[in-house]
Structure 1
Amino acid sequence: MKIDRITCRVVDFPLDREFHPAWARGRNQPNLLMVLIEVDTDDGLTGIGAAHAGLEAAVTIERFVAPYFIGQDPMHVESLVPVLRDTEILGAPVYCMETTLWDIVGKAAGLPVARLWGGYSDRVIAYCATAEVRSPAQRVEDVKRMLDEGYRAVKFRFHLPDPLEDLKVVEAVRAAVGCACGGSRNLSPATTTTGCAASATGWTRSRSPAARTTTACTSSSC
């Protein structure tokens, strides 16, 4: 099995209100950029992944990753990952392209990747991730709404100048809804790392009311 084509789409979703991410103080983020990637093989399998990134990720992989991936066996993940690690010095989240390789491995084996890695459960707790810095009262209101929507876990974002003020948010939420170790409604902390990157050659742009999409052409000779 060989990789014979890599396709990338950069999707730009406008947000309907101001968004001030906790990881970028003072910044209003007007949109959400996502890179969607498909890695096709000569056996007809396609690995799919995505990353919170823009054109810089696609261009970086086009120039520094795709030339090494085209023609390689996607099942040899361990031999391809060093290419991604070497490219990370450029700053773009190219490491996330590894997800597309594991997607192909799982499809070739006919098993979920989690099962290939030794996992035994086919269920995970869905959690709701917060993104903005909020006051204790606002966060309590947020968490109550999330629990009403069926979530059993919440991921908090903390970036206040004084860490003691961050702790007040946790204390307020626990007092209002309980915590994983007790309380009338269980609430457990959650953390995660997600994403994957994409590459392609050539770009065209299309627009729609819901999202602006930059689509890369497909190529067998990146």
Structure 2
Amino acid sequence: MRKLVLIIIGMLLISTVSYAVAEGQVNPDKLDFYMYGAKTCPHCRKMKEEIPRVYGNDSFTYYELVDNTENQALFGEQYRYTGISGVPAIGIAYEGELRAIVEGEFNVSAAPKIVEAAIENDGLILVMGGKAYIIKNETIIQKLQVIYVEHRNPDETVTTTTTPTNNTTTSSSDNGICGPGIVVAFAVIPLVLLKRRR
């Protein structure tokens, strides 16, 4: 009986650890970069070359500030939420969701680790002045998402018209039980029932 309990506990530990390791890995192919910069800035030019070289041209979007009033206005908006006034200001999104904003040059190969830290801390990582901060306020994160990823002012209303179709399917990944949780439930129930018999 003890061997069976030890085997079940071992299986639970292995499944939990393997699930946590799999969840903790960030796929670099799912990273996108959104950069506010100036053509007169040498750091911007370097990052403008480096990011596409490492992650591909399709993963990089550049917003020029010089002679562009729309980008200047959006950059001013992001300043309200981050305090970043210098360039480059680089937003890093993972699977379409903004996860980090970095002010200045940085080692782009560290982007997956930065995103991983943001996911683990359930927030947005802000790197400025050589220090890292975590933003957990969902309202601010959503406004920064709109500024960097959607490239529009978060305070302006957007009107869209959608027409539902017959083959529209919606689903939620938040079903309450996922990963090793179900394995734990199935393993614990027989142990509880066995203990009640005694």
TM-score normalised by structure 2 residue count: 0.20
Name whichever structure is richer in helix by fraction.
2
TM-score normalised by structure 1 residue count: 0.19
Larger radius of gyration: 2
Answer 1 or 2: higher relative contact order, Cα 8 Å, separation at least 6. Answer: 1
